[in-house]
Structure 1
Amino acid sequence: MDEEALLGLLPTADIYRRTRATQYFEQLKESSNGWEICAGALASGQYMGNDHVRFFLLQVVENYLKARYPQSDEATQQKVKTLIISLLQQQGVDSCVEKSFIRNKIAQLFSLVYVADYPHRWPTFIQDILQGLTLGVNAIDLYLKVLMAIDSEVVDRDISHTQQETQRNTLIKDTMREQCVPQMVESWYHIITSYQNSKPEVVCACLDVIGAYVSWIDIGHIANDKFVSVLLQFMSVDVLRESACDCIIEIISKGMDPLAKMNLIESFTSILDRAGILNPGKDEDPDYLAKLARLVDSIGTNLIINYQKMSKSSNKENADLMLQSIENKVQFIFRFLCDEDDDVSGAVANFTHDYISVLKQAGPLTAKQKENIGSILMAVISKMKLDESYNFDQEGEDEAMFQEYRKQLKVIYQNIGQLEPDLVVTTTHQFVENVFKAWKKTNDVKYADLELGVLLLYQVAEVFPVSHGQHFSGDMSKVSSLQQMMRLMIECNVCGCRHIAVQLQYFETVVRYEKFFQHETQHILPVLTAFLDERGLRNPSAKVCSRAAYLFSRFVKAVRSHLQEYIEDILKRMTDMLTVNSPDNGFNHRLSSEDQFFIYETAGILIISSNLPVQKKQELMKSLLAPIVSKFSDLYTSMCNDQDEKRQEAYAESLNHAMAFASRSSKGFSNNQTMKVCGCVEVYTETLQVFLQALNTPVHRSLLQTGVRQYLHRMVVCLEAEILPFIPLAMEQLLKHADAKEIYDFIPLMNQVVMKFKQLIVPFLQQVFLPLVQTIFTTLSAPSDERDTQATNEKKMLRRGYFSFVSTIVSNNVAEVLSSLESDNLTRVLRTIIEGATEIPDPTAQKSCYNILKRLVELWGGETGLNGFDDYIYKSIVPCCFLGPSKPTFDLNDGQTVLALGESALCMRAILAKLGEQFCVFLLTDYLPKLNVSSQLAAEYCQALKSDNKTFKAYTKTFFTRVRS
């Protein structure tokens, strides 16, 4: 060994020595005898006690065992066997007290040798290891670690294996069952009975081994009086009971015949119950209780799985026996489900849920089953309550875990509601009524009780088998109960509770039951007031403010037809929230800019949906947008004059938000309430004129252009021809000195304009198409560093955007924009489409290109088409449809590429439709022979071409697969 290099393994080693140690490690791994050097050092015990060096040596040997050992000769196998025996014998040396990570690595080595050599090269492996147990507790500990490592290599279902490894593992398990499992089982019994007092940690490790191996060995080896009596004894020993509990869970989870499984579980349950283990006291350790709860959960879920299997068979008698066995175990649910520790309670959630599912399928409930369900419902409601320690200001891991636990309880609650809806409605109504009335009477109810009442009211919606929020139609008894709870919640001013948990749940609930307010409009005003005052949008909690902003917008949309008399008052109350924050004035309220998006949208909806005269709507919209415009101009001037980069960025953010606010205010316009009908065209176009100045910005160009584009998108949606005069100016400024990303971001706006205005936009498009395309070409051809992945990706996206733009033109009846180009320019554009389909390995772009060519064939092909275009079809488009899919880069197994292939097939179908039979003659006699396609395959291709689109698309993949093979 290179002792100097090994010094680099010490924690105090400098970078030079560490590097040298790493190099030495790689050298030993690569050399033919490096592993032997390390094996010799390990076997001799030369570095015993030096954990760093010993781990280093073990890693080198491990690398060899994984990579080369399975193919080694007999002599090498003997050397490895000597190493294994030496490592085992070292465990009997008193001075051998190795750290756990060293023992784990040694165990891993043992397991690698085992799967390579057993049963053919080393059939007595297990027996040889068993002989080492006489060496003492260290050897026993290693033995158990080896068995767990073998389980990981051979049995663990979470690890994927090749077919060859699976066959190897099956052989190993089959041979072990025949040759050594009985001896292993005896060794386990010896260990757990001999060391239960002196070395409980070794007993726990052995129980883990038993639990791991019981899944594939004969259950009779473990499920017998000898073992079970010891396991039950351990259930009363503090340091052993959790491991014993886990072991029993594994035993009863073993795959077995349903009746045998039921008998096994009945036996265990009976013994555990008689011993009082399944009914522990309240003062027990929570970790142990959680283990016991898992045991009960496993008992129940295993029985239910087997009941479901039996239910599918014709043996009703056995199925009834299994159902009765399940019913007898339900009593154990309550002790754990009601436990104050959520981990304990949550551990029986699966059994609880599955039991309810069984009752759904089993038919009418018996009196006892109804009693069980009632008890479960009460336990679930009780456990849903927030704990006093819940930290609402800084929600951490504990709070997240409780929310997950609460979701489990909600699912159980909902399932009970599906099983016994009347019970859930009645129970919920009673709880809600008691809590709300107590609050109304004294205002002295714990927030957790109040929040739970509102939550249950929210959750009871799941009991109503309705869609689209129609909770107030159908079964009038339930509807009446729900209406009463809603009335009580509002009339009792539940949201007057100052705790944010109650306030948040209140607003969630009123929005969920928005249809209630269509029936009882008198309750709208108190809810509106709550949203607008310190309980909602002006709440001291930013969390409540933020959620209220979103929920208020939803509430207003739902009840806007009933808000006519309140609209102007609501807008006045919202005035101080309709402001643009800036570096100069800071934040005037607790709403973030993202929250204000909803506020501006709500204000716009209120104005637009009102019954006010057009002139009044116009005045209100001006009042809404005028502060934005005024602030925008001031902010823009400040940004341009300020030299501080951070402040410039802050100004730019505020300007972007201002434009976004104006955009969101237009969300309320519709096909009926258009911008023109509401008299708001001038207000928005004047605002646009102000925003357009941001396109000349000297700083933060990208951020501000994003805001202008967003606003233009909204105006294209809301305006008609009034927007068209602004497009040329916007385009000129947006594309001035634009980079690839900016052009790509602009193209969707152009596509939107084309799709909406079509022929109206043709004169403008004819002017701007070529300059825009030339700008794109120039940008794409500009040199860039191949290592700059961002620049490469931006060019890729720009190329896609360009093809999308051309596709939009040919698909929206404005193809004259292309046909009116001079011949050279049209040829250049068409060439880019052909190249996009054939030369660029981007299936998304290729799909667009083939789609463009198909549309051009449909528009310009045939006798009535564009002069000379048929010749172009034969010379360029047809070869394109064959060349692209023939290339190695065209991956026929890739989903996106197959879509591109489908578009090329549709293009060929379009050509056939335009050119007719003469096209098939051309393929058969001229083109396909030039590609060395056999006459039989060519005829087959043409026959498929004449079928339908679906058939030909499927055949095209087959054709190119054969051509390329």
Structure 2
Amino acid sequence: LAIAYFEQLKESHDAWEVCAEALAKSVYSDDHVKFFCFQVLEHQIKYSLNAAQQQLIRETLMKWLQCQLMNTQAEKPFIRNKAAQVFALTFVMEYLTHWPKFFFDILSLVGLNPHGVDIYLRTLMAIDAEVVDRDIVHTAEEVRRNTLIKDNMREHVIPSLVESWYQILGAYQQSHPEITCQCLEVVGAYVSWIDLNLIANDRFVNLLLSQMCVEDLREEACDCLFEIVNKGMDPTDKTKLIESLCQVLQSAGFFNVEQEEDVDFLAKFSRLVNGMGQSLVLSWTKLAKSGDVKVAAETLRALEAKVPLLIKLLVHEDDDISANIVGFCYDYLHVLKQLPLLTDQQKANVEAIMLAVMKKLTYDDEYNFDNEGEDEAMFVEYRKQLKMLLDRLAQVSPELLLEAVRRVFSSTMQTWQTASFMEVEVAIRLLYMLGEALPASHGAHFSGDTAKTSTLQDMMRTLVSCGVSSYQHTSVVLEFFETVVRYDKFFLVEPQHIPNVLMAFLDHRGLRHSSPKVRSRVAYLFSRFVKTLHKHMNAFIEDILTRIQDLLELVPPENGVPALLTSDDQLFVFETAGVLVVNGEGPAERKQALMRSLLMPLTDAFRLLLAKLATEREEERQAVLADCLSHAVGFASRTSKAFSNKQTVKHCGCTEVYRDCLQTFLPALSCPVQRGALRSAVRSFLHRMIICLEEEVLPFIPAASEHMLKDCEPKDLQEFIPLISQITANQVLVSFSLGCSLDALSVLYLQSQVSPFLQQVFMPLVLAIFEVLGRPAEDNDQAAALEKQMLRRSYFTFIQTIASSGMNEVMASQGVENIERVLFTIIQGAVDFPDPIAQKTCFIILSKLVELWGAKDGMVGFPDFIYKHIVPACFLAPLKPTFDLTDAQTVLTLSECALTLKMIHHKRGHEFIQYLQTEYLPSLQVSPEITQELCQVLQQPDVKVLKNYIKVRIQWRKP
């Protein structure tokens, strides 16, 4: 009730005057009432006020401010902030018109009263938010107004404001550090757009530097100096400013960062040094481009002089301090990359940065690998920044980087048994990072020529033979496997190491590691390793399959024993097993036997679980069983990913194995419970089998379709249609999967296989779609409306696939009544539904049907359909109010509409032109001149002319 009352009060015409009086006379002591009064004033100021009301607002604010000067205790911060917002809003509205002396009035009133100065500084920050803050989106009018305000302030008041800041900084340094910090924040905010000479002078800068030595002020002073350094200015002047600052900071001892214990201050100081360094880099870049060689060289020397400080901050044990200097470091390396030759000192700088990066990449003792939280996430992000530096180091001096990593890696691997996990992990990590950092010309590939064995190859040989894969820390083990897979091409050169690495993948170091995180990642990495090196594993196939057999088991829900791998991880293991079987060098009989032994346990378990599901009554238990059944289908499907254009299912003798899987899985479609999950799994398997088994899958589809079309929802149909479309376009898919183009006989063969099936399934599918689309739905049910729209689109795409696949007899064989029903839905989709994506598809279908059946010897009765329905659709669709030519999809629809008209003319010739001139266009009351014009355009060979004409003259109905 109170909130409703206050909102009502806001809208009242005169309530704000009551609030103004209450503030001016300090009527209320309750903080929330005061806050509300300011809210009411704020609301009122945003709307038009007459001159008297404006005057009242100004007087109210000044009286309230005067009261603050007399109070012994300041208002609560939230009230002061709200008051500052109201002051700022009033300033923005009236400074250029009725209150040009805004600042002078406030300054003369508050003097050096701490309560008054506090409000003054808060108001300045609120003004910055209203007028300057680039993160706030302003209208064009507000931008113009803000520009005028800043121009006027620069001309009339900024010098006085700067003087007031100087006085405040000096007066309150000891007594009110919080006010001094506020003032430093104001200076930092305003320095970006005022004359820098007012701030960057000896008097002001010396004051700021003196405050760098005051513990309560130095963080804010650092931020203020950072903003000054970031101010855009002439590169020579910027260099001089930074050099003078650095001299004072260095002489004051700030460069001795190892002696500073306050990490919060050092983080601010590191940010300041980063700003100075990046500014010097920018100045050098500008000077170098301008050809000012001498000054550019001086700037480069100034830049180089900061590198020792950069390295101290980069290597600091606190990651925040280190992270704040990365930008300067990255830019400095970019400068070195552009230099033709590096001096000895610059090479030493590169090496020092390199060592700092290597040290900072190391985990600390507190990193929680088992339960990674915010701190761990921040370190991961910090590592990414260090990775950028490593990449840049590689660009500057790949030889130095390679040698530095080799030195660290070799010394660590020699003593890995006694080294800490952090040292071992980072040594392997550095080897891993070289893969992306080093260009190929510097050894990021492996040569078979032993006389030219790369440093990288030496390190890989050490990695896989020194036994470090047995290290008892997850981070080291994971890094080992990541690196082995990153450099899997190494094993093509030295395949003798494959057996040892395979064992690491398969035993307690990898897939049977005590950590679920390691097992999960290794499952994926193992699949990648095998895909690359399967040609070298023929002798180990049976052994590998035996060792991973228990990992390939479908874990039933009643087992109670936690599985080593999740079902998602098992997918990778099944795919790996499939790759091993398919790519083995043995005969097809061996491959068939291995694949059967891989898939039979799945199908056997599937039958048992499906029988249980059919009799299970408890819903939660049903869901668990259905989930397990879905996994079984998914695992079988994943093994088929191993087949390629060279190793097809037929070639490997595995057709019968997958046919048996299909026969086992299809009964799940008729299961009365958990239909959604089971249908989805079997449907996905059918998609794979259409590619793998080609025409062999067709006998299974009619029965599968019958089950999937029973009691289905829009989503079920929407997901089923692509399956049928895939079969329809099978010759294209088979052509793609075989890596060749099918000859005409092959296409005819596939059509002869697919067409009878499609003729059988076409109308049941279409009728199921009609039934679902015809179901009533509530007007405001947006989700149901969207589902129907998506189903309608899928339906039209399906018809388009049929029409475009060369199997038009599928539709032609459905009987006149059914054909008409389908054709009318296409006309309806082209004209009546405001869905340009569906409309475009419908016009593509109509154009194709005209091409197929529209000739004089085409389908009986179709010419009449063209003139009675297709031609009107081409004219009526663009005339709909919802046909929006500012929409890109609608423009495409219009283009397809024009192509349809062009196709009708191509098939019917002069007869079509005569029909337009004598019957159809006159019926729309189109003038003879426009009719003649349109018919001439329609007969021109370039279809673009027709498209443009229709776009321009879309309102033919008008005479």
For normalisation by structure 2, the TM-score amounts to 0.94
Letter in 2 for 1:21: A
Letter in 1 for 2:90: V
Q: Is 1:904 matched with 2:884?
A: no
Whether the 8 Å CA contact 1:214–1:254 is kept in 2: the answer is yes
Q: Judging changes above 3 Å, is the alpha-carbon distance between structure 1 residues 312 and 910 closer, same or farther for their aligned structure 2 residues?
A: farther
1:362 aligns with one of 328, 339, 356: 339
Q: Secondary structure at the match of 1:92?
A: helix
| Distance in 2 of aligned mates of 1:545 and 1:245 | 48
User: Does 2:777 correspond to 1:800?
Assistant: no
2:826 maps to 1:833? yes
Aligned residues of 1:843 and 1:897 also touching (Cα < 8 A): yes
Q: Is the 8 A contact 1:92 1:135 kept in 2?
A: no
Q: Distance in 2 between matches of 1:492 and 1:396?
A: 33
Equivalent in 25, 28, 40 of residue 60 of structure 1: 40
Match of 1:849 in 2: 842
Residue of structure 1 equivalent to 2:783: 790
Equivalent in 89, 96, 99 of residue 119 of structure 1: 96
Shift of 1:785: 2.3
2:668 is the counterpart of 1:674: no
1:684 corresponds to 2:665:
no
Which 10-residue stretch deviates more, 661-670 or 865-874?
865-874
Q: How far 1:213 moved relative to its partner?
A: 0.5
* Aligned with residue 60 of structure 2, among 83, 91, 102: 83
Match of 1:429 among 403, 406, 417: 406
Equivalent in the alignment of 2:478:
504
Q: 1:6 matched to which residue of 2?
A: none
Cα distance in 2 for partners of 1:133, 1:654 equals 76
Q: CA RMSD in A?
A: 2.4
After superposition, residues 587-666 of structure 1 pair within 5 angstroms as 587-666=561-640
| Compared CA separation, residues 23 and 548, structure 1 to 2 (3 A) | same
Pairs within 5 Å for 1:141-540: 141-439=118-416, 443-466=417-440, 471-473=445-447, 480-540=454-514
Distance 1:44 1:890, change over 3 A: farther
Unaligned runs of at least 5 residues, structure 2: 731-749
Whether contact under 8 Å (2:45, 2:89) holds in the other structure is yes
Change (3 A) 1:686 1:294: same
1:876-897 deviation per Cα after TM superposition (whole angstroms, max 9, x unaligned)? 3333233333333233233333
Alignment of 1:43-58 (within 5 A): 43-48=24-29, 50-58=30-38
Is the Cα contact below 8 Å between 1:338 and 1:345 reproduced in 2?
Answer: yes
What is the deviation of 1:858?
2.5
SS of the residue corresponding to residue 621 of structure 2 reads helix
Per the alignment, residue 22 of structure 1 pairs with: 3
2 CA distance for matches of 1:937 and 1:404? 67
| 1:90 Cα deviation from its structure 2 partner | 2.2
Structure 1, 516-525 or 838-847: larger mean CA deviation: 838-847
How far apart in 1 are the matches of 2:148 and 2:688? 68
Moved more, 935-944 or 390-399: 935-944
Distance 2:310 2:451 in 1: 32
C-alpha distance in structure 1 between counterparts of 2:420 and 2:298, whole Å: 46
Range that drifts further, 536-545 or 358-367: 358-367
Letter in 2 for 1:617: K
| Contact map agreement 1:759 1:813 (CA 8 A) in 2 | no
Tell me what 1:702 maps to: 676
Higher mean Cα deviation, 372-381 or 317-326? Answer: 317-326
Alpha-carbon separation, structure 1, partners of 2:915 and 2:337: 67
Assess if the C-alpha contact under 8 Å between 2:446 and 2:490 holds in 1: yes
Distance in 1 (CA, whole Å) between partners of 2:821 and 2:252 is 89
Secondary structure at 1:795 match in 2 = helix
- In structure 1, give the amino acid aligned to 2:11: E
Task: Measure, in 2, the Cα distance between the counterparts of 1:213 and 1:260.
Answer: 20
SS of 1:720's equivalent?
helix
Alignment-mate amino acid for residue 739 of structure 1: E
* Cα deviations by residue, 1:688-711 (Å, 9 ceiling, x for unpaired): 111111111121110011111011
Match for 2:783: what amino acid?
Q
Bigger drift between 20-29 and 177-186 goes to 20-29
Query: Which one of 677, 685, 695 corresponds to residue 721 of structure 1?
Result: 695
- Counterpart of 1:939, as a letter, is E
Conserved in 1, the CA contact under 8 Å of 2:165 and 2:187?
yes
Distance 1:156 1:933, change over 3 A: farther
Deviation at 1:677, TM superposition (A): 1.7
Instruction: Please give the per-residue CA displacement for 1:499-523, whole angstroms capped at 9, x wherever unaligned.
Output: 1101111111111111111111001
2:933 corresponds to 1:939: yes
Cα distance, 1:82 vs structure 2: 1.5
Helix, strand or coil at the partner of 1:724: helix
**Would the alpha carbon gap of residues 828 and 480 (structure 1) be closer, same or farther in structure 2, given more than 3 Å must change?**
same
> What is the match of residue 557 of structure 2?
583
Within 2, Cα distance between the matches of 1:391 and 1:941? 77
* Alpha-carbon spacing, 1:957–1:321, altered in 2? closer, same or farther (3 Å): farther
Residue 864 of structure 1 deviates from its aligned partner by 4.8
Shift of 1:715: 0.9
Tell me, in whole angstroms, the C-alpha distance in 2 between the residues paired with 1:924 and 1:432. Answer: 85
Decide whether aligned partners of structure 1 residues 172 and 823 sit closer, same or farther in structure 2, where only a CA change above 3 A counts. Answer: same
Shift of 1:760: 1.9
Structure-1 separation of matches of 2:575 and 2:703: 28
Residues 946 and 332 of structure 1, relative CA distance in 2, 3 Å threshold: farther
Aligned residue identity for 2:632: A
CA distance in 2, matches of 1:191, 1:947: 81
Evaluate the alpha carbon distance shift between residue 414 and residue 817 of structure 1 in structure 2; reply closer, same or farther with a 3 A threshold.
same
Per mean C-alpha deviation after superposition, the further-off stretch among 316-325 and 173-182 is 316-325
Cα drift, residue 200 of structure 1 = 0.2
Count of equivalent residues: 938
Relative to structure 1, is the Cα distance of residues 964 and 925 closer, same or farther in structure 2, using a 3 angstrom cutoff? closer
Structure 1 residues not aligned, in runs of 5+: 1-19
Structure 1 position 956, deviation (Å): 5.3
- Code of the aligned partner of 2:159: P
Match of 2:545 in 1: 571
Q: Which moved more, 1:51-60 or 1:200-209?
A: 51-60
The counterpart of 2:18, out of the listed 33, 37, 43, is 37
Mapped to 1, the partners of 2:75 and 2:828 lie a distance apart of 67
For the 8 Å contact 1:860–1:866, the answer to whether it is kept is yes
- Residues 509-518 or 268-277, more deviating: 268-277
Distance 1:897 1:318, change over 3 A: farther
1-structure distance, mates of 2:257, 2:956: 71
Using the size of structure 1 for normalisation, the TM-score is 0.93
Structure-1 separation of matches of 2:360 and 2:478:
20
Give the partner amino acid of 2:140: Q
1:886/1:964 contact within 8 Å kept: no
Cα distance, 1:135 vs structure 2: 7.0
Q: 1:371 to 1:901 in 2, by over 3 A?
A: farther
The amino acid of 2:4's aligned partner reads Q
